[in-house]
Amino acid sequence: MPVRLTSTQADFAAAFAALLAAKREISEDVDTVVRGIIEAVVARGDAALIDYTARFDRLTLSAETLRIGADEIATAEALCDPRALAALELAAQRIRAFHERQRPSDLRFTDHAGVELGWRWTAIEAVGLYVPGGTAAYPSSVLMNAIPAKVAGCPRLVVAVPSPGGALNPLVLAAAKLAGVDEVYRIGGAQAIAALAYGTATIAPVAKITGPGNAYVAAAKRRVFGHVGIDMIAGPSEVLVIADDSANPDWIAADLLAQAEHDTASQSILITDSPDLADAVERSLARQLETLPRADIAGASWRDFGAVITLASLDEAPALADRLAAEHLEIITRDADAMAARIRNAGAIFLGGHTPEAIGDYVGGSNHVLPTARSARFSSGLGVLDFMKRTSILRCGPEQLAALGPAAIALGEAEGLAAHARSVSIRSNSV
């Protein structure tokens, strides 16, 4: 049974803190293995990639077949259900339109002292996108990672996707094509991350790697971080629903289950001021679970990590929501905007009863790669800025150097950095 809390219970603060502290990640000791794999790929390049792919994916490759050719991608696309393909196209179009609004502006100005200042945004020159194989091969995630990179203007976007036993999800290849991916390689695991980060004879290195993966992929991303950029290490997904008695309990139960079906470590939480709604949601959820294909996963997630919290007043909700800092926050109350305005920490907010999170997962247009495990306290969902970087620009003429120089010299001297001071004074002497 999920946790059931009431804000009026004597030990509510402690029980809520325990809910926050619950560890949902399975910690696997994979780091030593991953270090060995990365070292092998750095040392032996393609040969190591081919060896690991034979071992882990039961697939015999050569340097010539590492890359998936355009003809193979076209063949895969032809195999796709036209309805799914059309849906993917609608999704791509909406994701592109939304992310185009995230393109940042450059700035260049001259301040009152005559100093020229500003910054310039440029796209990252090459980006690698990891796409998991097997059951977690989500074509929607290909779009969510690749489209912002292309909107940012990244000239080279590379996908790595394992094909265990040679099997590939054709819709993943179709999504890569649709999103404008430049190269696709049939490699996975830590060996794929190493190849993207350090390059091989066949695969040129990239400057940043994004995309989800298993514990080996996550450990490899942590290890190559610094040599290349990475996105966040994604944890299990989560949803928080804040609802009042105007909400439909069947809809809420369906949303809680949609989150729970991702993974046994997913978390679904309902906060409401209506004990009747809480009861109705729990009953509906149990009923809906009976006919769910992934009932084992969703049931375990709900049992182990689900929570229903009833409050004396929804005025208590914002503070709790900020501490939970949920990846997905649905607000299904009479005045959802007013509630949203009072909450600081959330990856994405879905307003009103007709915005199930699944719309945002696929076709809303906003990104579904969002901060998990309370990291919405300090980080954002994936966006165009994650594929760009900002260079600051400064120019002084002789007058500006004369005006600002003495302060720079004073600070250089105060910090014991005489060469800093001299790099200014040597010019002042010539002004």
Which residues in 93-112 contact its own copies (CB under 8 A)?
94, 97-98, 101, 107, 109, 111
Q: Per CB under 8 A, does 119 bind its own copies? A: yes
Q: How far is the CB of 65 from its own copies (least distance, A)?
A: 27
CA separation for the pair 55, 365 (Å, rounded): 39
Answer whether 120's CB lies under 8 Å from 388's CB. no
Of the listed 183, 238, 261, 328, which one is catalytic? 328
The DSSP code for 136 is: G
Q: Per CB under 8 A, does 26 bind its own copies? A: no
Q: Which stretch binds its own copies (CB under 8 A): 27-35, 50-58, 290-298, 312-320?
A: 290-298
CA separation for the pair 95, 93 (Å, rounded): 6
Q: Which of positions 217-256 make contact with its own copies (CB under 8 A)? A: 226, 228-229, 233, 248, 250-251, 254-255
Q: Which stretch binds its own copies (CB under 8 A): 1-9, 66-74, 84-92, 156-164?
A: 84-92
Q: Which stretch binds its own copies (CB under 8 A): 37-45, 57-65, 176-184, 405-413?
A: 405-413
Residue among 74, 201, 319, 407 that touches its own copies (CB under 8 A): 407
Q: Which residues contact 254 (CB under 8 A, 6 or more apart)?
A: 288, 356
Kind and range of the H or E element at 52? Answer: helix 46-57
Q: How far is the CB of 12 from its own copies (least distance, A)?
A: 20
Instruction: Annotate each residue in 341-380 with x if it binds its own copies (CB under 8 A) or - if it does not, as one string.
Output: ---xxxxxxxxxxxxxxxxxxxxxxxx--xx-x-xxxxxx
3-class SS letters over 357-424: HHHHHHCCCCCCCCCCCCHHHCCCCCCHHHHEEEEEEEECCHHHHHHHHHHHHHHHHHCCCHHHHHHH
Q: Per CB under 8 A, does 35 bind its own copies? A: no
Nearer to its own copies, 308 or 369 (CB): 369
Active-site residue, 25 included:
no
Q: How far is the CB of 61 from its own copies (least distance, A)?
A: 27
Nearer to its own copies, 308 or 388 (CB): 388
Site size toward its own copies (CB under 8 A) is 122
- CA-closest candidate to residue 132, choices 123, 144, 142: 142
Nearer to its own copies, 165 or 293 (CB): 293
Residue 259 counted as an annotated binding residue: yes
- The tokens describing 70, both together, are 């355009």
Q: Which residues contact 306 (CB under 8 A, 6 or more apart)?
A: 2, 3, 256, 260, 267, 268, 269
Residue type present at position 256:
L
Of the listed 238, 327, 330, 357, which one is catalytic? 327
Q: Per CB under 8 A, does 334 bind its own copies? A: no
End-to-end, the C-alpha distance of the chain in Å comes to: 77
Active-site residue, 330 included:
no
Q: Per CB under 8 A, does 145 bind its own copies? A: no
- CA-closest candidate to residue 149, choices 233, 67, 209, 237: 209
Answer whether 173's CB lies under 8 Å from 85's CB. no
Q: Per CB under 8 A, does 216 bind its own copies? A: no
* 58 Rama class: left (phi>0) / alpha (psi -120 to 50) / beta: left
Q: Show which residues are catalytic.
A: 327-328
Please give the annotated binding residues for Zn(2+), written as ranges. Answer: 259, 262, 361, 420
Q: List binding-site positions for substrate.
A: 237, 259, 262, 328, 361, 415, 420
